Amino acid sequence: MKEKRYLAIGHFRESENVTCVSSLGSSIKDFRKELSGNAFVPYVVITEEKFNNIKNMDSFDIFESVKKMTTNYRVWDIVADYMSQCFDIMEKN
């Protein structure tokens, strides 16, 4: 089975600073398991393909896309702002 690259935006349990982590994995379920084992609380998890689509969106479209990724409305603005401002960081990961 081919591994895919996944990217998660969230925070570590001991910190409220938003960051992103990425890894190769065989499924989103496995990636989420790996995250919880590392004390990372993901707001959203996206595939590399979804990330590439989001790079070409404007701020409003990013926000609408985030709303579809998570039902946690408290983090919609946080995640959308992070995505809009930190594509360079996310690309490095």
Is it the case that residue 17 has pLDDT exceeding 90?
Answer: yes
pLDDT over 90 percentage in the chain: 56
Tokens of 60: 């409003």
CA-based angle 30:68:82, to the nearest 5?
80
How many Å apart are CA 33 and CA 81, to the nearest integer?
26
Distance CA 10, CA 33 (A): 14
pLDDT at 66: 95
Over residues 23-46, the pLDDT tens digits come to: 888 899 999 999 988 899 999 999
The mean per-residue pLDDT over the stretch 56-78 comes to 93
Mean of pLDDT values over 7-16? 93
Residue of 82, 64, 10 lying closest to 39 (CA atoms): 10
**pLDDT value, residue 75:** 96
